[in-house]
Structure 1
């Protein structure tokens, strides 16, 4: 049954109707008609909302409201009512952006569309990340909005790997060098007399010859500035192109005026060289900037190049070469020595060594046997192997890595939002300053010729590009070099926050240890082989279907000793405590001392032995029968080897001035033994999974007062809440997908030493951001007054403007030299 309500804002009739916007969006979490009424009340009570309809059957809301109401306001109202607005993310490639002001215009155009929740545009990657309420704003509407704002947009194909490519890339100003060469050839004769004057050589080209050389530079090679500037004017905004167009047109126009009015009276003062050389320098700067920006995306291009176009598929005993896109999950793929593995999969035949250096950062080849997993893009070093495909296309490891790096590079760091606010008003302010300069020199000094030249210098030297590129280029370079070293950073916020980390909390099993525990001791209450075998058999039965590392250790020992494992029924995991099951008619419990204490099991018989084992760093599990009276049956002790890199990892963090903590569900003895061996500062033991997040919260409260941040490093499902609670979650890729999803940083190798590297690259990246922003602001704050007071010629101003963006990008590119310390 369809339930639809309508909520209308009470009040007198409106005499002059105001145009209303209409939004339609999905609402999630409604279960009955009362939910509908609650959502409608929340929406209808917002100022500016004229009508709100919610349909329970379709789970859709329709709202009519004035232009003062935004989709973000509606979303907040729905969430405060206890429901959620369904949303999806869309990615666009944006063309024709030239400066930070363009970013603000594109974002504004996208955000004005009904249904758009947020829009982030990145100048360096030339992409837009748009979140829309499900089904409300289509891709074509987004593209149309960008087009209306004066830019081009096209879809980024979700092929699994790579970004969308510009359909007109060959036409982009940075794509070819010939316009710069031609502009330089035409401008050189105009600039040479100016340079000759420095050496006492005074000569000048004929005025009409100067006009002949400058005109094609101004209106042909410089036409892009007029086109982009006109689009900005039509959209009621400004950009760098508008500043260049106005400035060079003023210099060119003054020269034409002087030539026409005073040309017959002798050699007039002409400034064709100013307009022509400025356009040439700006074109050169944009070309150099485009080349430098391309280098910041080198990491993604290197990853894209790893995927082979074809694969050798085996069907019915025959091998055939097919496109990788034709391979399906479950297909067998043959990989010869020296070839790249085409798909993610599991080796079903053969053994080899594979080079995964470009994916994980691991420099040494990794030995692989039957049953081991291989990653698409890795190089098969020696043996022929047959791989059963487990993931293809967008779900492959390589595709997910590329998506994560692209997403991180496209997202904005928090500091960028301040820059965007400045950039949004930058061009209008500069035009205002140029106008003041013009009037000041013209009215006060009485020299309108000088006034025009100084105003031109103000317009030309102002550079919003450097502001717009300062942060994203550093983030692109930082995330790119991190990816090459096996550190995947999910978003720019994680990268920015990581530089403030003062405490790193580690999980133990699988993070600092190998995560492959073995049963090192097994003791039964009755000292007989039969009793020992029974304890092992029952323990294996309880854990037969578990993926927990300790469970695998028990089942492997039972298999090794050829123990017959009985069937278990009513198997249940008790979070943070252990497991329960019925085996051979017995109610059995296996787990931690806390679990046994809650069951009132007497552990005194093995208390001393357990304490001795725990002091040696062993993990102890207890087996009890609770069928009638709780009775202890035995204990199992597990040993897990510390990773060779665990010690150096902790030492490197201490060298960076960072404290370390161990947060584990293991017993006190085992936790303290590991902490002592690794010299970890703080220890939290016997922590339940649900309490790990609370421990992280306590650390954040303590460190946050001093301006520091807390990171959590883990690899399992039980670490996910703590990873999400930390300021920065760091997950091992050797762990679960749940952990990686909750983390802001993923380490592609199970090497804890990469944690220090991740923090180090974050610090270096943030330092580059601060350097770039300082120089971008300093350049404008110092350069504009110098130009306004007549201390810079338009040509010098143009050269400075062209070099400012290039210097910012080049400074960011220095991050590519960074080398991690993790082996």
Structure 2
């Protein structure tokens, strides 16, 4: 219940660790892949204008050559190393195709291909580095030291990693808990949102469990260590994110999934086109020209551009509407999901408590505004989230708050202040009503009935006493996002399945939110590993799961899912870096719109592949059966490339964003 966090002593940095871990970001240009890709892009852009304007080759030729070297040496080197291991990948094929294009005068096309592949590799490297940074930053949530108590009560500051099962530690007000364990004595409230996602601090007394890295409130606790620090929940979150990221199914675009067969087949076919005519008596030059023409018309440039422009256009369009997909792979995967699992706090809800119910007792001579004014005045000095909710509601209604004196706070019980000459207490009904004289009848019975009713509705309840007499109840709950119901309906239409609610919060709060938005499958009180287990269970049945969350506790599930989306406004660093996409504006209804856009992009990819395949088949057949002039082969190859590129760019239009998904009338 409300507590005076502003009155707690300032803890030492060594004991607590930072409230929010510092963001450890690898600078983009610190990665060699990014530097080479940027250099290649800049050189390409410098060479492009003089080339298009017909300037002499000496002006733009060296720039294009430098673009080839800076962007192509790394994928070429990796391709050669793969070739050494008897593996032929599309990166090497693209470099060879680019060099082949340059050899017959198509320098611009080859350079463009090099730039596309270099940029793609750099983006993948940046995403990998950022995720690794965030996983390492998560370790800062756990304190580096803890206060261990000896058998005689002596205190010793030790490295938290040296704690052993059975040790007793002292957790002072404001400190982070040093290890997973159970409270031996003391009472306090602990903010464990990083582990369970609960929006409010949880009261802890003797016998209750606590987690390493969670933040203690105003009371002091003695905790017996129950798990080795290396096996704490926060350490397991780190391991789960790393393992899920490493074992997640390969995220490859269509062309990458067939690259080995296509690459090998094209190389063998090119050699055959060159060798067979020689064996049959053709001269070297015509055979070489035919083979070069074959390599150009059969190269997968149009196939690559069949895939990338629609997906990149979809990424750009989604970005304009507040959804940042981290790669083309993510945009492709997003449209394939058939099951959605959402977190509650900070995802379906805003993560901020607010007053939902005012229940004054008529015989106490206090109406709704009077009850709110009294409670807000007593709570005003407190920094507890419930206190903030009460005071914010009073201010929103422009109620003047009288001054409060003699403010005190008792962990787990509530606060007490002197307001206008009366002792006003606000806090836990279970503890405050135990001291009420007529608890068995009259006002006491009505208050208890009201508490039961509000709690059954999923509210957190506080009782207000004036001079020891109940004057009313306040119901407090997390605010549901305005577009939550519409989003659930839209996702249900898209996938054919109602989304599932996965939360670490209690059952009543979860079921209340689920009932309001139309969710029937609710799984509450889940630790991070439980969320991962649920995702893996669905995927073992063949489902492609989209997980939407915002907290550290959601990160393992975001990493394990087919696709993960984080809410950007209040999302933790780990969730934002682990997720495949981020909803920057916190507009929940943008998620089904992005799914619909992804499906449109995938349809365009299929269209483009049909167009590209048709052109390649026709040109290859012409080259093999007849004599395809090299200029005509290049024109046909480049024409198909331009055609599929323009078709993919259609998704850049403003009208391509599926606004119907945002309409409340459509769900």
> Which position in structure 2 is the counterpart of 1:703?
538
> Which position in structure 2 is the counterpart of 1:679?
518
Shift of 1:730: 3.3
**Distance change >3 Å, CA 229–CA 483, structure 1 → 2:** closer
> Which position in structure 2 is the counterpart of 1:88?
26
Give me the whole-angstrom Cα distance separating, in 1, the residues matched to 2:627 and 2:387: 73
> Which position in structure 1 is the counterpart of 2:498?
659
Q: Does 1:244 align with 2:101?
A: yes
Give me the whole-angstrom Cα distance separating, in 1, the residues matched to 2:489 and 2:584: 21
Q: Does 1:807 align with 2:647?
A: no
Root-mean-square deviation (Å): 5.6
Shift of 1:565: 3.7
> Which position in structure 1 is the counterpart of 2:459?
619
> Which position in structure 1 is the counterpart of 2:591?
755
**Distance change >3 Å, CA 418–CA 607, structure 1 → 2:** farther
> Which position in structure 2 is the counterpart of 1:358?
none
Classify the secondary structure of the residue corresponding to 2:623. helix
> Which position in structure 1 is the counterpart of 2:334?
498
Equivalent residues of 1:569, 1:582 under 8 A apart = yes
Equivalent residues of 2:432, 2:463 under 8 A apart = no
Equivalent residues of 1:536, 1:554 under 8 A apart = no
Give me the whole-angstrom Cα distance separating, in 1, the residues matched to 2:26 and 2:409: 41
> Which position in structure 1 is the counterpart of 2:291?
455
Give me the whole-angstrom Cα distance separating, in 2, the residues matched to 1:677 and 1:87: 39
Give me the whole-angstrom Cα distance separating, in 2, the residues matched to 1:720 and 1:493: 19
Classify the secondary structure of the residue corresponding to 2:460. strand
Give me the whole-angstrom Cα distance separating, in 2, the residues matched to 1:245 and 1:290: 11
Q: Within 5 Å, which residues of 2 pair with 1:113-512?
A: 128-129=33-34, 154=39, 166=42, 169-172=45-48, 176-179=51-54, 239-244=96-101, 248=104, 279=105, 282=106, 414-416=251-253, 419=256, 422=259, 426=263, 433-444=269-280, 446=282, 451-508=287-344, 511-512=347-348
TM-score (normalizing by structure 2): 0.54
Q: What does the per-residue CA deviation read over 1:550-598, in whole Å, with 9 as the maximum and x for residues that have no partner?
A: 45546648982624445656676xxxxxx6666469999946989999x
Equivalent residues of 1:292, 1:806 under 8 A apart = no
> Which position in structure 2 is the counterpart of 1:609?
450
Equivalent residues of 2:255, 2:304 under 8 A apart = no
> Which position in structure 1 is the counterpart of 2:197?
none
Q: Within 5 Å, which residues of 2 pair with 1:772-787?
A: 772=608, 783-784=619-620, 786-787=622-623
Classify the secondary structure of the residue corresponding to 2:338. strand
> Which position in structure 1 is the counterpart of 2:630?
794
Shift of 1:799: 1.7
**Distance change >3 Å, CA 717–CA 701, structure 1 → 2:** closer
Equivalent residues of 1:610, 1:620 under 8 A apart = no
Shift of 1:430: 5.0
Shift of 1:477: 1.2
Equivalent residues of 1:423, 1:468 under 8 A apart = no
Classify the secondary structure of the residue corresponding to 1:169. helix
Query: Higher Cα Rg: structure 1 or 2?
Result: 1
Equivalent residues of 1:596, 1:622 under 8 A apart = no
Shift of 1:655: 1.5
Equivalent residues of 2:43, 2:66 under 8 A apart = no
Q: Does 1:560 align with 2:445?
A: no
**Distance change >3 Å, CA 494–CA 451, structure 1 → 2:** closer
> Which position in structure 2 is the counterpart of 1:693?
528
Q: Does 1:521 align with 2:358?
A: yes
Q: What does the per-residue CA deviation read over 1:393-412, in whole Å, with 9 as the maximum and x for residues that have no partner?
A: xxxxxxxxxxxxxxxxxxx9
Equivalent residues of 2:353, 2:476 under 8 A apart = no
**Distance change >3 Å, CA 594–CA 476, structure 1 → 2:** farther
Equivalent residues of 2:43, 2:63 under 8 A apart = no
Q: Which moved more, 1:517-526 or 1:674-683?
A: 517-526
1:765 to 582, 593, 601: 601
Give me the whole-angstrom Cα distance separating, in 1, the residues matched to 2:433 and 2:632: 81
Classify the secondary structure of the residue corresponding to 1:88. coil
Q: Within 5 Å, which residues of 2 pair with 1:539-554?
A: 540=379, 543-546=382-385, 550=389, 552-553=391-392
**Distance change >3 Å, CA 742–CA 541, structure 1 → 2:** farther
**Distance change >3 Å, CA 642–CA 611, structure 1 → 2:** same
Equivalent residues of 1:470, 1:773 under 8 A apart = yes
Q: How many residues align?
A: 471
Q: What does the per-residue CA deviation read over 1:206-263, in whole Å, with 9 as the maximum and x for residues that have no partner?
A: xxxxxxxxxx9xx9999999998999899777522432355x4xxxxxxxxxxxxxxx
**Distance change >3 Å, CA 227–CA 421, structure 1 → 2:** farther
Equivalent residues of 2:47, 2:63 under 8 A apart = no
Give me the whole-angstrom Cα distance separating, in 1, the residues matched to 2:623 and 2:542: 41
Equivalent residues of 1:646, 1:752 under 8 A apart = yes
**Distance change >3 Å, CA 560–CA 666, structure 1 → 2:** farther
**Distance change >3 Å, CA 508–CA 226, structure 1 → 2:** closer
Classify the secondary structure of the residue corresponding to 1:655. helix
Q: Which moved more, 1:794-803 or 1:537-546?
A: 537-546
Give me the whole-angstrom Cα distance separating, in 2, the residues matched to 1:717 and 1:558: 35
Classify the secondary structure of the residue corresponding to 1:560. coil
Q: Which one has a larger percent helix, Structure 1 or Structure 2?
A: 2
Give me the whole-angstrom Cα distance separating, in 2, the residues matched to 1:786 and 1:525: 93
Equivalent residues of 2:568, 2:583 under 8 A apart = yes
Give me the whole-angstrom Cα distance separating, in 2, the residues matched to 1:594 and 1:466: 72
Equivalent residues of 2:101, 2:107 under 8 A apart = no
Classify the secondary structure of the residue corresponding to 2:542. coil
Equivalent residues of 1:700, 1:710 under 8 A apart = yes
Give me the whole-angstrom Cα distance separating, in 1, the residues matched to 2:597 and 2:269: 40
